Structure 1
Amino acid sequence: MEVATFGLYSPLALSQYGIDKEVMNLGVGAERIAMILNKQEDIRAMVYPQSHGKWRLSDREIAAMLRINYYPTTNEGRILMDKIITTCQEHSDASSPCEFLIFKGEFLGKNIEVKVVEVEEGTKLLGPAAWNQIYIHDANILGIPTKEGNITDQLSLKALEKGIPTDISYMDGVTAQAAYKIEELVVSGEDNLNLRTTISRYISDINLILNDVALSYITGQNKVIDVRGPIFCTITCEIQG
């Protein structure tokens, strides 16, 4: 293995700079020395460990790197988030068109009215994937229905049996973002908010964010992030007075 290169400069080249002494150049490859010291076989694994290195993240470690992105910053906002979750759980199968009052009263110094609504006829308040739970299995991130009868693919069945549950549902992300946006609404001077979540295709659609290290690992291992599904949740807020 080539560790270094060295040699004498040409006297002709040196003479052009007024140098009449012999000059030797020694170039040591830092990566090569590091390979020897660390007993590595592939230089790429040291320079580009994210794509060539032999490293592993456990499912539990990946689960710890997945979190809700936008989250209410105030105590009132977190209480409102819980109210949104509770109301949506109580009425998720209600036939549409329908609307349900979540909260009416003072919030961060202003009077607001918050509702969950579905104006389209012939459906339900929430879509069938709204309460899907996020599991990590064999470095795959999967959104799995809460009712086992709705699970048909083998990967999801294995994740339900052997995977790591994150205790995060699609609606956990949606309602956290709604409460966060309502906090913003109150301080921004605007007077209404209509937050519509339709179909989830990416984790950002359900207000989740994944650490770049975990994302690189999942991509490098040719694993999947599958959080697809219809949510169809509309949360509105109006500032009154």
Structure 2
Amino acid sequence: MPTNTWYAHDLDTVRDMLCACIGPKWGDAPEEKLEEIRQSRYAQGKRLAHLLKINDSHTVLDFGSGCGFVTRAFCEKAAKVHCVDLNPKFLDFTRNELSSFPQTEFHRIEYASIPQVADESIDIVISTAVFIHFLYYDFLFNLIELNRVLRTGGILYFSMLDADAIDLHNPAAIQNHISIYKDSVRGDGFMLQPSSLTSIKKLAPQLGFELINTNHIGAGENVAEVTLRKTGAPDLPEWLRDCI
């Protein structure tokens, strides 16, 4: 694995990227714990690679690949991996992080748009730290686009903050989030957004997915891991087709 090198980025930029990817868990100077963070996130990737049975026949899309720490485990198993992210600095970092895997491609994308990836070319989509920022409409637009790139029968895994599981009398899961939200500028791009898992379960079949599994984890168990399988194209009403 790479050593503690900052690649083309200055220290403040690396600190900002790590804070954006991993949140406050590792303190105010996460760059000082880079190897610990790398190993922790790599272990998460190994668990997901095992859970989703990634093998050398699969083309995998990491949707919001961040710093590439989780992605490394997918690269070790898959025939091809697409790393996509909105932030070019993340992609630069990830390109260096995963430079030993020639089957990996890196794409800067726009919101709910992955034009670099062909229709029905992906076997497994994994997103570990993107849907936690989504509201209902974000789920709608992004699931439509991910349906496009997935092959029929392909798997979509993501984690989200499940508003249905929040209990104000069990504050471990949300106390820090609420403090950050109160003190932030509304619309902050890194704001965590709880959404209703019940509503997403209802939305998914209308967008060409069947629910395979959900699993609640984390403090207060309000983080939901969701696994869907593509069954076909989205069944969109005409008014919605005119909007997108």
Q: TM-score, normalised by structure 2?
A: 0.22
Higher radius of gyration, 1 or 2: 1
Higher relative contact order (CA 8 A, sep 6+): 1
Query: Larger strand proportion, structure 1 or 2?
Result: 1
Q: TM-score, normalised by structure 1?
A: 0.22
Identify, as 1 or 2, the structure richer in helix. 2
